[in-house]
Structure 1
Amino acid sequence: MTALRSLALFLAAALLEIGGAWLVWQGVREHRGRLWIGAGVLALGAYGFVATLQPDADFGRVLAAYGGVFVAGSLAWGMAVDGYRPDRFDVAGALVCLAGVGVIMYAPRS
C-alpha cells in the first residue's frame, strides 16, 4: 500500500509541477496573461507541499526519484497537451528514468 500511495503522490506532484510550469510558459511565452502565470505559480507552490507527503523521509531520495517521474511526465504532457511526438530515444530515456525511480524508491533496504 505504501508503494501505491507513493506512486499516486509522484503522479500528483508531476501534474502540479509540469502543469504549473506549462501555465507559466503559456502566460509568458504565449502572452496569455497574468492569470495564467498566477495559476502556474500556485500549482508550482502546491507541488512543493505534495512532495512532502511522500512516505520516505529522505528529501534527497524523494527529489532524485521525482526527477525521473518529471522526465517521463514531461514527455507525456507534451504528447497530451502540445501534440509532441517523442522518438524512440525519448521513450528509451524516459524508461531508463522510470527504472531509476524504481531502484531509488522501492529497492529493498536493510
Structure 2
Amino acid sequence: MTVTRSIVLFVVAALFEIGGAWLVWQGVRENKGLLWVGGGVIALGIYGFVATLQPDANFGRILAAYGGVFVAGSLAWGMAVDGFRPDRWDLIGAAVCLVGVAVIMYAPRDA
C-alpha cells in the first residue's frame, strides 16, 4: 500500500508541477495573459504541498526521485497536450529515469 500511495502521489505531483509550468509557459510565451500565469503559480504551489505527503521523510530522496517522474511526465504531457512526438531516445531516456526512481525510492534498505 505504501508503494502504491507513493506512486499515486508522484503522479498527482507531476500533474500539478508540469501543468503549472505549462500554464506559466502559455501565459508568457503564448501571450495568454496573467490569469494563465496565476493559475500556473497556484498549481506549482499545490505541487509543493503534494510532495510533502510522500511516506518517505527524506526531502532529498523524494526530490531526486521526483526528477525522474518529471522527465517522463513532461514527455507524456507534451504528447497529450501539445502533440509532441518523442523519438526513441526520448523514450529510452524516460525509461532510464523511471528505473532510477524505482531504485531511489523502492530499493530495500537497512533501517
Structure 2 counterpart of 1:77: 77
Aligned residue identity for 1:82: D
Report deviation, 1:22: 0.1
Over 3 Å off, 4+ runs: none
Within a 5 Å distance, the mapping from 1:5-20 to structure 2 comes to: 5-20=5-20
SS in 1 for 2:4: helix
Aligned residue identity for 2:78: G
Q: Calculate the TM-score normalised by the size of structure 1.
A: 0.99
SS in 2 for 1:75: helix
Q: Calculate the TM-score normalised by the size of structure 2.
A: 0.99
Report deviation, 1:33: 0.6
CA–CA distance in 2 between the matches of 1:88 and 1:107? 27
RMSD of the alignment, in Å? 0.3
Within a 5 Å distance, the mapping from 1:23-38 to structure 2 comes to: 23-38=23-38
Q: Deviation per CA, 1:9-68: give whole Å up to 9, x if none.
A: 000000000000000000000000111000000000000000000000000000000000
Aligned residue identity for 2:23: L
Report deviation, 1:90: 0.2
Within a 5 Å distance, the mapping from 1:35-74 to structure 2 comes to: 35-74=35-74
Unmatched segments (≥5 aa) in structure 1: none
Task: Give aligned pairs, total.
Answer: 110
